[in-house]
Structure 1
Amino acid sequence: MKQLFPFCAVALLSACNVGETTTAPQTPDKSAQVSFDEQRFRADITTLSSDKFEGRAPTTQGEKLTLDYLSAAFNEMGLIGAVNGSYLQAVPMVSYTASEQQSVNLAGIDMQYRQDIVLSSRHDNQQVSIKEAPLVFVGYGINAPEYQWNDYQGVDMKGKIAVILVNDPGFAHPNDKKFNGNAMTYYGRWSYKFEEASRQGALGAIIIHDTKPASYPWSVVENSWTGPQQDLVLAKAEQDARVQVEGWITLDSAKRLFDKAGLSLSGLMDRAADSALNVDLAQTASIAFTNKADYADSYNVVATLPGSSQADEHIVFTAHWDHIGVDDSKEGDNIYNGALDNASGTAGILEIARQFAKQAKAEHGLKRSLTFIATTGEEQGLLGSRYYAANPIYPINKTVAVFNLDSTNVYGKTKDYTIVGKGQSELEVYLEQAAATQNRVTTGESNPASGGFFRSDHFSFAKLGVPAVFAGGGAQPLDEETAQYKAAMTEQMKGCYHNVCDHYREDWDLSGALQDLGVYYQAAHALGNNQDWPGYYAGSEFYPLRPAD
């Protein structure tokens, strides 16, 4: 693990002077042994996911209640507000709301909003009106020179709408060693696909939803992509370059579209996984709906526990406080409480912060500073963490590492410990050694095809070269009793991701969550008292930014 010269610019880290390699301590000292307060942890989850907080959507009354709650908690601990004494970092946002009444005709087929298709526009244009725009199938919508792959080769997308497969070619043919096999690359993420279609000058982009490669059902798309859609306020040139309309179409509706074009979708999917591909569907799209844009600041909550002798070097904990909010179009329960995702993670960083603050008051403070960031807008595309990474309160080249909590383990203790995207950086060594003190082994996630490493706030820092981890839970229950509980609770929670049934449950076994908080705590404690600068391993796309030895 490199000791990097601290004033090197992050883009030049690969050329920085390097010191001796050091190793994280095998056994944490006594001050690293903590006992988390389960009752307080539960209380934080319960409050943050209560109906009173209205699903914690950004720029709502639910946000205000959340900000007040988190600020008060950090203040009670004695952590300082990182924004000139305030805990709040303003994140300029715009909220786009597409009408529920949409006229969408693809290849002469009328598509029903929510049932067949979900579309939105990230433009302040009041009215979307597209008439007979050509539809072009662009395979996975990837332009990746390092893989000698360009689905847009030879096609001018100006005035056209791209129809795109979800995930990347490695998922379809994992044994062909394309991309990263079954483990999704960033090229498989929906956010990349819309970004690349925009760079190609496309008028619109529609992703074909398929549950297995997407790793979530259509209900997640319907719940997450309807209603107000937040985004960062962009510079005019960047905004103008964005596709005019973007969204998702169900697999069955896409099949109808391709049948109308006289093409086999399944056949084209096979071809698209073999090599870069684009096909003019010889069909058009006509789309019309009203669109509203509202501007308002949302906020990250940023609190710091200063270090004793290396206070300018920061170890960061992140967890997103936001969720989906309220859907007034639903009858009955219409509040997306977001208890697991991510009131639990937010409660987690509060509990970790309390323990470090307690240790600091007992004169066992760390040499390095700890900064806790409860981010906004993660559900809308990592907005809060993206904004912080672009507008850091503390320099990125002074940010040692990031530990991210996004949904904690409510299924009891485990024999193993999951590191999402395992094999990325030396920061994982700290997790491995901390987990070993609990007699646990570290493993990668069971479904790498879901692209978990790219789906939460740590990724905003990883893109800038900061070693960042997203870890917790495991696949192996501690004992048979825990296994039976897990099976029953898994059935209860089935279908609750981004749904109204993600609410707090009194019978959650949070012992596993507390176990995981201990791993993060010990790892940060070890890193906070040495001079190591973990780097990314060769083979990681982030290696050139902050390389490991």
Structure 2
Amino acid sequence: MKGITSLLFSSALCVCFSQQVDVPKKYSSYIDEADLKKNLTVIASDEYLGRETGKQGQKMTAEFLSAYFKKLGCSFAPGMSGYEQYFDVIESTPGGTMSLNGLNLNFKTDFIYYSCKSKTSLENLPVYTNEQLTKAGKEPCYLIYMLKSLEVRKEVAALKKDLPKHVKGIILVSDQYTTLYEYMEHYVTTKSMYLADEKRKEEFPILFVNKSSLQGLNKKSNGFLSGTGKISKPTKPVFTLNGQLNTQEERLKSSNVLAYIEGSDPVLSKEVVVITAHYDHIGVDHGVVYNGADDDGTGTVALLELAEAFMEAKKNGEGPKRSILIMPVSGEEKGLLGSNYYSSHPVIPLANTVADLNIDMIGRNDIGHEKDTNYIYIIGSNMLSNDLHDVNEKANEKYTRVKLDYKFNSLSDPNQFYYRSDHYNFAKHSIPVIFYFSGVHEDYHQPTDDVEKIIFSKVEKIARLVFYTAWELSDNPKRIRLN
């Protein structure tokens, strides 16, 4: 009897002890500062060439991530035969030709443009002033306007307000073209990309022309360049526009990397919590490598640690009920292309996607928190689901105790951060999202965004917060609700 009593007591003690084990806390220990640094030192090195979408560095990084997920034992996502989801992009190089009344203008020297990424043909288009539009016909045309200042955005916004649909673009003539060019050079001479299979919306080019380049056209400008402000013939075009924009395009291949960790519940495992970060950066410029250690190397290596933590739980039979999809995406720096492609070609139905937790830049302090590392900006958490907001708050209160800063959690945020990272391509499909972000710093998009400046203890802590939030979302039998 004594032996039986002792055995029963021991069994009860074991049961009691097992009930006290905090399972998510147990596996969060696999998110390790040393591993974060080790992996970031690889992908944010010069060898990886700045990880530009469609280029060698991005492909090297995708191979590194795939090999890492394979080593962890992560599965391929349903219906996939590998870790990479490939997609094609078109890289467009700014440039082309433009002529007004037969006068040929040279790109950069005489004209520049924006709001146009794909090949565009300008063929015999009449050009009118604002005053002429009410009397001119409804044929496709361009509006011409003499810039009054360097406040271009304000003047363009005023011109575009209530503009007739048959106006297909605007020509802005400036007598401060040199200053304007210096201000806009980066934006109008940098290569751009778009998804090859994307349905392109009709673009609306904004062309800037150097007024001094139009000398000799006074007599042919219907009075526009005379300085009188009077148009002698209201219905006659000021100019006829011809040209080609973005004449040089190249098709490139890129990929998202998907690591799937199936949930433990036979029913709930068909639902998934997605965790994203973009692994691309801006590449090499004039021989200088932009390593993007924080943007978004920190988010990328955090995903590797999250995958390890969830996989360890699964291997020990203690994983959460729903499935987890860890997805480093590419093309973010080119316009959220990879996440856009996934949301249009999901491997798991969007209806079965519970939430997206997106990590982008979590390794530095911004100006508002120079002396305080223990913070993170939370963006979007309550935009679509108050439940999601509450889950993140409670996870933080119980485990990490980070200062959650909601400064940018607004649709009216002048920085528009809610629209500027990969979570938005889930949010636009009514999938609840959280964007974890530590803010912009002096090395943002600079070649000085390097590994030695990363605060790895911060990356570890934020990655653990994401882990705890993802665990609750994936293990709670009750799915979070949309507002």
TM-score, with length taken from structure 2: 0.71
How far did residue 453 of structure 1 move? 0.7
State the distance in 2 between where 1:40 and 1:225 align: 40
Residue pair 2:129, 2:143 contacting (<8 A) in 1 also: yes
* Equivalence for 1:433: 394
Identity across the alignment (%): 27
Change in CA separation of 1:56 and 1:131 when aligned onto 2, cut-off 3 Å? farther
* Equivalence for 1:213: none
Q: Match for 2:24 among 10, 19, 31? A: 31
User: What letter is aligned with 1:84?
Assistant: M
State the distance in 1 between where 2:207 and 2:361 align: 25
| 1:420 equivalent in alignment to 2:379 | yes
How far did residue 399 of structure 1 move? 0.5
Q: Match for 2:432 among 449, 467, 483? A: 467
Change in CA separation of 1:417 and 1:290 when aligned onto 2, cut-off 3 Å? closer
Residue pair 1:421, 1:445 contacting (<8 A) in 2 also: no
* Equivalence for 1:50: 45
* Equivalence for 1:519: 465
User: What letter is aligned with 1:292?
Assistant: Q
State the distance in 2 between where 1:404 and 1:222 align: 31
Residue pair 1:413, 1:515 contacting (<8 A) in 2 also: no
Change in CA separation of 1:346 and 1:132 when aligned onto 2, cut-off 3 Å? same
Deviates more, 1:334-343 or 1:225-234: 225-234
Change in CA separation of 1:58 and 1:505 when aligned onto 2, cut-off 3 Å? closer
Residue pair 1:102, 1:113 contacting (<8 A) in 2 also: no
* Equivalence for 1:210: none
1:291-341, CA deviations, whole angstroms, 9 ceiling, x for partnerless residues?
2222233111111011010211100001111122223xx3xx532222211
Change in CA separation of 1:162 and 1:260 when aligned onto 2, cut-off 3 Å? closer
Residue pair 2:44, 2:297 contacting (<8 A) in 1 also: yes
Residue pair 2:377, 2:404 contacting (<8 A) in 1 also: yes
Residue pair 2:375, 2:403 contacting (<8 A) in 1 also: yes
* Equivalence for 1:84: 80
Q: 3-state DSSP class of the match of 1:498?
A: coil
Change in CA separation of 1:287 and 1:349 when aligned onto 2, cut-off 3 Å? same
Residue pair 2:426, 2:432 contacting (<8 A) in 1 also: yes
Change in CA separation of 1:90 and 1:136 when aligned onto 2, cut-off 3 Å? farther
* Equivalence for 1:73: 68
| 1:445 equivalent in alignment to 2:391 | no
1:69-468, aligned counterparts within 5 Å?
A: 69-82=64-77, 83-99=79-95, 113=108, 117-119=112-114, 121-124=116-119, 128-129=121-122, 134=127, 158-160=140-142, 200=165, 203-204=168-169, 222-223=185-186, 226-234=189-197, 238-239=199-200, 242-243=202-203, 246=205, 289=245, 291-309=247-265, 310-327=268-285, 330=286, 333-411=287-365, 414-421=373-380, 423-424=382-383, 425-426=385-386, 427-437=388-398, 438-446=400-408, 448-468=413-433
1:186-241, CA deviations, whole angstroms, 9 ceiling, x for partnerless residues?
xx9xxxx9xx99x956534799xxxxxxxxxx999754664432211246xx44x5
Residue pair 1:96, 1:121 contacting (<8 A) in 2 also: no
* Equivalence for 1:480: none
1:114-162, CA deviations, whole angstroms, 9 ceiling, x for partnerless residues?
999554743346xx5466764789xxxxxxxxxxxxxxxxx97943369
- Decide which structure has the larger Cα Rg and report it: 2
1:504-515, aligned counterparts within 5 Å?
A: 504-515=450-461
Change in CA separation of 1:393 and 1:401 when aligned onto 2, cut-off 3 Å? same
Deviates more, 1:69-78 or 1:220-229: 220-229
How far did residue 85 of structure 1 move? 3.0
State the distance in 2 between where 1:114 and 1:47 align: 41
How far did residue 372 of structure 1 move? 1.0
State the distance in 2 between where 1:294 and 1:511 align: 41
Residue pair 1:98, 1:290 contacting (<8 A) in 2 also: yes
Deviates more, 1:343-352 or 1:432-441: 432-441
Residue pair 1:322, 1:342 contacting (<8 A) in 2 also: yes
Residue pair 1:418, 1:444 contacting (<8 A) in 2 also: yes
Residue pair 1:306, 1:369 contacting (<8 A) in 2 also: yes
State the distance in 2 between where 1:518 and 1:385 align: 23
State the distance in 2 between where 1:114 and 1:420 align: 42
TM-score, with length taken from structure 1: 0.63
How far did residue 363 of structure 1 move? 2.4
Residue pair 2:44, 2:291 contacting (<8 A) in 1 also: yes
Residue pair 1:356, 1:365 contacting (<8 A) in 2 also: yes
Residue pair 1:421, 1:444 contacting (<8 A) in 2 also: no
State the distance in 2 between where 1:517 and 1:30 align: 17
User: What letter is aligned with 1:460?
Assistant: N
State the distance in 2 between where 1:40 and 1:315 align: 24
State the distance in 1 between where 2:182 and 2:479 align: 42
Measured on the aligned residues, the alpha-carbon RMSD in Å equals 4.4
How far did residue 416 of structure 1 move? 4.2
**Which consecutive unaligned segments of at least 5 residues does structure 2 have?**
1-19, 131-136, 146-152, 173-180, 210-223, 228-237, 366-370
Residue pair 1:409, 1:513 contacting (<8 A) in 2 also: yes
* Equivalence for 2:234: none
Q: 3-state DSSP class of the match of 1:307?
A: coil
State the distance in 2 between where 1:119 and 1:497 align: 23
How many pairs were matched up? 406
Q: 3-state DSSP class of the match of 1:394?
A: coil
State the distance in 1 between where 2:323 and 2:226 align: 60
